[in-house]
Amino acid sequence: MNIHDPNIATPKVTTGPIMGSRKVYSRPDAASDLKVPVREIVLEASANEPPVPVYDTTGPYTDPNVTIDVEQGLTRARTAWVKERGGVEEYEGRPIKPVDNGNVSGKHLARAFPQTHKPLRALEGKPVTQYEWARAGIITKEMVYVAERENLGRKVQLERAEAARADGESFGASVPLFVTPEFVRSEVARGRAIIPSNINHAELEPMIIGRNFLTKSTPISATRP
């Protein structure tokens, strides 16, 4: 298989800012080297209202200061976090096989790119998943990142947070007034939330799924006819 066949066009991706909003970054107190994306929706200037912060899921594609190069792939910031924790090693992995490409050829062949990375794996007996780290009582940078992302401006709203929570319906949830990295760790350790963050998908932005967080999971029973 030609790893860089010039006859197969490089895919195009849509980039650039989104009209009516802007991407900004928040830096957690617990790890100021992290940049957590937040999208600010700009309101009418005549109303003299501050922008409304919302969860940003657009990745680096909407950051005007980031150059997207499909040939090189996205920046793999989390590789440093994983290696910093230790307990992992690089290995050769396996070569690409025809079955990985649907056993097709010619114009149907998916482009293989020149930028490749050696995969990582856990050393024997060492934690590697966020669940394992959480059960070990360790707060990872992913957990710090998630906590900052969940708060969405709560730092400046703490004075009215109690009243706002009392005015709503919890439906049995236990959402704190302010999401801390320790709260994230405890929820993951208890099995009530998950952080999908495979160590070999180091380009992804950590997020959390759980009852007490912004993104909820759907019970299996609810999906059955």
Q: Give the pLDDT of residue 223.
A: 45
- Could you give the maximum distance between any two Cα atoms of the chain, in Å? 63
Question: Is the model's pLDDT at 161 over the cut of 70?
Answer: no
Q: Give the pLDDT of residue 171.
A: 63
Q: For 132-149, what is the mean pLDDT?
A: 96
- The residue ranking higher by pLDDT, 136 or 178, is 136
**To the nearest whole percent, how much of the chain has pLDDT over 90?**
51
- Please write the tens of the pLDDT for every residue from 162-180: 666 666 666 666 777 789 9
Question: Is the model's pLDDT at 5 over the cut of 70?
Answer: no
- Residue 23's CB is within 10 A of a number of other CB atoms, namely 20
Q: Give the pLDDT of residue 174.
A: 73
Instruction: Identify which of 66, 132, 95, 122 has the alpha carbon closest to the alpha carbon of residue 1.
Output: 95
d(CA 176, CA 150): 11
How sure is the predictor about 187, in pLDDT bands with cuts at 50, 70 and 90? very high
How sure is the predictor about 222, in pLDDT bands with cuts at 50, 70 and 90? very low
Mean of pLDDT over the chain: 84
- The residue ranking higher by pLDDT, 155 or 132, is 132
Residues facing 120 on adjacent strands: 90
* Lowest-confidence segment of 175-189, 190-204, 210-224 by average pLDDT: 210-224
Instruction: Go through the chain and tell me how many residues it has.
Output: 225
Q: For 148-160, what is the mean pLDDT?
A: 73
- Please write the tens of the pLDDT for every residue from 64-113: 999 888 888 899 999 999 999 999 999 998 888 888 878 887 777 776 77
Question: Is the model's pLDDT at 119 over the cut of 90?
Answer: yes
Q: Give the pLDDT of residue 3.
A: 46
Please list, residue by residue across 191-205, b when 16 or more beta carbons sit within 10 angstroms of its beta carbon and e when fewer do.
eebbbebebbebeeb
| Helical ranges in 67-140 per DSSP H | 78-85, 130-135
